Amino acid sequence: MDRQLIKKTRSLCPACLREIDAELYLAGGKAVIEKKCGEHGAFSEVADTDAGLYLKCSSTKKNRTLHYGLVIPVSYACDLSCRWCYLPERGREFTVDRIKGLIAASPARHIVFSGGEPCLRPELPDLIKHVKSSHPEKRAVLLTNGLKLASSSYASLLKSSGLDYCIFSLNGFRPSTHAAFNGRDLSSEKLRALGNLKKLKIPTILSMTLARGVNEDEFADVLRFGLANLDFIRQLRLRNVSDIGTYGPREPIYMSDLLKTVSAATGFSLDEILRENAVSNRRAGTANYFVMNIFNILKRRSRAAAHPRFSFWKDVYRRAGASGALRMAFEPDRQPEERTTFEIEIFSWPTAGNIDLDEVRKFPISHVTNGGEALPFWEALFRNDRDRKLAAMKPAAEPA
Ligand code: SF4
Ligand SMILES: [Zn+2]
């Protein structure tokens, strides 16, 4: 079989999660990563089943040039026990002073309060107020499963504390999808919470995780819901399950699969999508991240039509309905940040087997590890997993 070396990089040993040298190849139409751990031997893992698309998504950037966001787990408690959870530790907490220290030390503009479930941290409203009063240049963001937001008084409290926007996990609408991810049907709580966010006009990003054979067919429904609610939903974030935290065996979903899912649901060709990513992706240069603005693609498309303006608005109306189209048409005087928009972001989560550390280290969002260190997002999560593995391997202490 033909093999073509793409680059040398660093990766992880899937057995012990230590950092090791690796090489990325094109072989048999796939992108493949090969590496050898001194203790656990050689590994060969598929990085993507579509080498052509993989190469088109890869970045030309050499280094991280931007610090966009910092994700801080402010609560290690959770009101759910999901099948796939990337932060399964419970029963510990950073002190409020430690959290404030992490915020002050970070160059990132977007401070994302996460968990576990951050709404279970009693001091969350005060932490939001702290960001707004002590770091007015930063944004206070909530990454949540949304259950607590089903209470309108709690959602109002976060809004009045200064919450800038919310990242809300929504993996689909079918009760069976909720049951597969979260162990029970959350439909009514999620819809009540989304209703509160809409009423309070809290800008919201929907975050959808895709698991093969569970909810791939629901992406189009979640997209439709987002476009029908442009008054508060600004973005739909799509990601795949990986093998981080409690993630058990799963059928892999690669970046090329995610791109094809988006293409099928939007009716945009892969070329249109790739072109938009090249234009709008100022935030990250990594093969694991992708962003596209739906309305930019419609604008570009309409230029080829006989009546470009008519063609653009017809398409907006078809996708976002009359309320979305009217909303967009009557706000040309607003600041760009406040104008109606809709992006699709794709996060292709690596596995321990196929992670390309040189790529993920360019990603501009950091995550605080359980040890309190801010590292590039996926590197932090694998560091937690490595520490957990090492702790499990330690011999139990002798009784006194
Ligand atoms: S995935 Fe999120 S909501 Fe689910 S158990 Fe883990 S922390 Fe809680
Ligand atoms: Zn090893």
Reported as a single tens digit per residue, the pLDDT across 124-177 is 999 999 999 999 999 999 999 999 999 999 999 999 999 999 999 999 999 999
Would you say residue 339 lies in a domain?
A: yes
**Could you tell me the distance, in angstroms and rounded to a whole number, from the CA of residue 353 to the centre of ligand 1?**
23
Would you say residue 395 lies in a domain?
A: no
Q: Whole-angstrom Cα distance, residue 355 to residue 207?
A: 22
The whole-number pLDDT of residue 282 equals: 59
The protein residue with its alpha carbon nearest to ligand 1, atom 1, reads 85
Closest ligand to Cα 80: 1
Would you say residue 18 lies in a domain?
A: no
Number of domains the chain is built from: 1
Amino acid at 356: D
Q: Which residues of 257-278 are buried (b: 16+ CB within 10 A; e: fewer)?
A: bbbebbbebbebebebbbbbbe
Would you say residue 21 lies in a domain?
A: no
For strands 233-240 and 139-144, give the pairing.
Answer: unpaired
Digit-coded pLDDT (tens) for 6-58: 999 999 999 999 999 999 999 999 999 999 999 999 999 999 999 988 888 87
Would you say residue 399 lies in a domain?
A: no
Cα–Cα distance list, 96 to 74, 131, 186 (Å): 8, 12, 31
Amino acid at 353: G
Q: Coil, strand or helix: which one is 319?
A: helix
- Domain span at residue 277 reads 69-347
Averaged confidence pLDDT in the chain: 91
The whole-number pLDDT of residue 400 equals: 46
CATH code for the domain in which residue 310 is found: 3.20.20.70
The protein residue with its alpha carbon nearest to ligand 1, atom 7, reads 116
Tell me if 81 CB under 6 Å of ligand 1.
Answer: yes
Would you say residue 55 lies in a domain?
A: no
Closest ligand 1 atom number to CA of residue 116: 7
Q: Whole-angstrom Cα distance, residue 77 to residue 116?
A: 5
DSSP helix, strand, coil percent of the chain (3-state; round to 5): 40, 20, 40
The whole-number pLDDT of residue 390 equals: 83
Tell me if 209 CB under 6 Å of ligand 1.
Answer: no
Would you say residue 298 lies in a domain?
A: yes
Q: Which residue has the tokens 């490595």?
A: 386
The whole-number pLDDT of residue 4 equals: 92
Tell me if 78 CB under 6 Å of ligand 1.
Answer: yes
| Ligand 1 pocket test target in 76, 78, 119 with most atoms within 8 Å of CB | 78
Evaluate whether 168 touches 144 at the Cβ level (below 8 Å): yes
Closest ligand to Cα 18: 2
Q: Which residue has the tokens 């990986």?
A: 242
Tell me if 65 CB under 6 Å of ligand 1.
Answer: no
Q: Which residues of 101-133 are buried (b: 16+ CB within 10 A; e: fewer)?
A: ebbeebebebbbbbbbbbbbbeebbebbbbbee
Cα–Cα distance list, 385 to 233, 236, 243, 332, 374 (Å): 33, 28, 10, 48, 15
Task: Please give the model's pTM, rounded to 2 decimal places.
Answer: 0.93
The whole-number pLDDT of residue 275 equals: 87
Would you say residue 383 lies in a domain?
A: no
